Chain A
Amino acid sequence: MPQLDHDPIDPEVAATLDAIDATLAGEPVDARFADIAEIALLLAADRPEIPPAFAHSLDQNVERRFATLGTPEKRPKRRRSWSGFWGVAGALGAGVAAIVAIALVAGGGGGASSESSSSAASSAASSSGAGSAGSSASGSHAAAAPAPRTEKHTAASTNGGVFAPTQTSAANGGQPLQPPTTGRKVVQGAQLNLGAAPSRIDDVAQEIYDVIGQANGIVENSSVTQGGPAGYANFQLSVPSGSLGQTMTQLSSLGYAQVISRTDSSQDITDQYGAATRALADARALRTSLLKHLAAATTTEQIDSLKAQINDAEASISSDQATVNRLNHQVNYSEVYVTVQARTAPAPISHGGGGFTVGKAAHDAGRVLTVAAGVALIALAAITPVALVVALLWWVGSALKRRRREQALDSA
């Protein structure tokens, strides 16, 4: 139906319309509207009356609420076709959304499962005592601390020693590797990287102190920082080589930490040690010889010269002895570097079993909600364009249908 203008109605038209309404209401009208009034009455009188049989049938249908309507077949068919369209559109959209969501979640889920398997090897146990935050300690043997690992590696390479760093996974972190040391001078070391909850950094530090104390080891250097989500601690430890294995086992199974990585290293310094001892023996032999010559010296010049040589020999002896002592210390005490990093990863599983705790339940609930929200967001992103297309199709379809109906009226 074409829209006409919205101008105010003409007074003559308004008067005619009032006359028509008055006629239909049974009221008298002005004589100039007699023709219109008569036509109105005749039109109203010519109103088609509903056939009584149809009226009765329709009443019964309404009474049954159209439950078993015997209407033309095209009507329910058409309704089914429209509902089918919306059903297919909805199912299509939901299917696309589900596929996309599943694909994305499955793609992102690999990392989650990997993380889970890693943390599965973690360990925890109850522990007593709390460490001091922000503490820094130096061991009594700090002066004897070995050179940095990199320098040692270089020296080992220069001296032809054997250096065999070994990356040990967290899964078998409980049993450190033991290189063969029979008859050889071997320097052992280890580096342990632990993860712990930010609030447990102090507890982990205290556990490390306890383990080192039990092993009669030395805390060469330590630094513990706690507070906020970025707690951190590192330790430079010296552990008697004989108890290195047991110490590493204990450090790998602390109650509030989980092993992220562990590196065991060994360096054979037998040649270097032999050279140092030989140099020491030579220096001592030289000093003994010089002392004999000094006893036999007769002139002042000879005596002064021999004394100077003896001083040099004694200095050499001291130096060589220090070298031997240092190598012995390296062999007898193994260096262990421990770092503890704050992690917001799931709390370690208790050694006491997988019992229910409020914390675990809250964590699981949070994770479920996060995943659900992610899936919902992805589904929404996938459904939105489909919904827009469906809405556009619906709008176009409605407009076309409306247009065709009006055309049907015009052509009737």
Chain B
Amino acid sequence: MDHALVRSEGVSEILTASESRGRDASWERFESLYRSSRDDVYAYVSTLLRDPAAAEDVTALAFERAYRRRRTFDRRRGEERAWLFGIARNAALDELRRRRRVATLVTDPEDVVEVSEGDGAEVALRRTAVQNALAKLPAREREIVALKFHAGMSNAELARVLGVSESNAGTLVYRTMEKLRKACNATA
């Protein structure tokens, strides 16, 4: 699968209306960042929270926070994308904390396997197995999957978001994948 296909698209035309406003460099950077990261941030947050409604709120909150803080961004401390995902991560963790405080029953969405016409039964089974294995992962490892495969981050970006070294981030990805592989093979 071409990973470039999963990147955000169709956002630029929405933002052209704002070009008439007085622009500043920070706004242009934020606009570009939003255009390239909107879908990735949602995918990451949605996988982490397993709640589409909460994922929408947290995604909106993350971009709002990033917009408010856009002038405080320091390039020497990392790339903007990692900075944005750091904000999204904090917002998602705050949402997890809020859930725990209010003791709201949050149910995981039911696993719905959409088998396209071209997919064979074997592929559908493998997809179901991966989804089930992913659902059973702890949140910390599910976050690794979300950042790596749903947000499309490199190991270096992933390391900056999590605050670990790049080698440690790679090790985390490896362990998570091994766990998934074993779970899938056990299911098979």
Contact = CB atoms under 8 A, between A and B. Distances in A.
Nearest to B168: A4
A63 B18 contact: yes
A1 B164 CA distance: 8
B80 interface: no
Of B2, B15, B130, most buried by chain A (CB within 10 Å of CB) is B130
Nearest to A8: B167
Contacts of A26: 1-3
Interface in A67-98: 69, 71-72, 74-75, 79
B163 A39 contact: no
Contacts of B126: 38, 42
Contacts of B17: 63
Contacts of A79: 68
A39 B140 contact: no
A19 to B, nearest CB: 10
B14 A60 contact: yes
- Size category of the A interface is 35 or more
Contacts of B68: 66, 79
Given A49-B39, A410-B140, A4 B55 contact: no
Given A75-B61, A412-B139, A39 B181 contact: yes
Contacts of A46: 127, 130-131, 134
B1 A41 contact: yes
A9 B170 contact: yes
A411 interface: yes
A151 interface: no
A50 B42 contact: yes
Q: Chain B's interface: helix, strand, loop or mixed, by majority?
A: helix
B149 to A, nearest CB: 4
A17 to B, nearest CB: 5
Contacts of B171: 4, 9-10, 13
Contacts of B140: 1, 409-410
Interface string A387-412: 00000000000000000111011111
A410 B167 CA distance: 22
B164 A13 contact: no
Contacts of A69: 60, 64
Interface string A21-63: 1001110000000011011111111111111001111111111
Report whether over half of chain A's contact residues are helix, strand or loop; otherwise say mixed.
helix
Q: Which of A20, A44, A411 has the most CB of B within 10 A?
A: A44
B164 A4 contact: yes
Contacts of B18: 62-63, 65
Interface string A244-262: 0000000000000000000
Of the four ranges (under 10, 10 to 19, 20 to 34, 35 or more), the interface on chain B belongs to 35 or more
A3 interface: yes
A7 interface: yes
B38 A50 contact: yes
Given A3-B168, A40-B177, A47-B43, A62 B34 contact: yes
A5 interface: yes
A306 B181 CA distance: 154
A149 interface: no
A14 interface: yes
A62 B149 contact: no
B185 A35 contact: yes
A410 B139 contact: yes
Interface string A186-227: 000000000000000000000000000000000000000000
Interface in B128-154: 130-131, 134, 138-140, 143, 145, 148-150, 152, 154
B111 to A, nearest CB: 10
Contacts of B52: 48, 51
Contacts of B11: 55, 59
A115 B126 CA distance: 95
Contacts of B98: 74
Query: Quick one: which of A5, A20, A62 has the most chain B CB within 10 A?
Result: A62
Contacts of B162: 1
B93 interface: yes
Given A42-B126, A65-B67, A408 B177 contact: no
A16 interface: yes
Contact of B165 (A4, A38, A40, A60): A4
Contacts of A25: 3
A110 to B, nearest CB: 47
Interface string A152-196: 000000000000000000000000000000000000000000000
Contacts of B184: 35, 39
B64 A75 contact: yes
Interface in B17-73: 17-18, 21, 27, 31, 34, 38-39, 42-43, 46-47, 52, 55-57, 59-61, 63-64, 67-68
A39 B180 contact: yes
B82 interface: no
B130 A62 contact: no
12 contacts: A1-B164, A14-B170, A17-B173, A25-B3, A39-B130, A43-B145, A58-B59, A66-B67, A69-B64, A409-B93, A410-B138, A412-B96
Across the A-B interface, give the 4 residue pairs with the lowest CB-CB distance, nearest first.
A412-B139, A405-B93, A59-B14, A4-B168
Given A1-B162, A46-B127, 18 more contacts: A1-B163, A3-B168, A4-B164, A17-B170, A20-B173, A39-B180, A39-B184, A42-B130, A50-B42, A50-B59, A51-B56, A58-B38, A63-B15, A65-B27, A71-B61, A74-B98, A75-B61, A412-B138
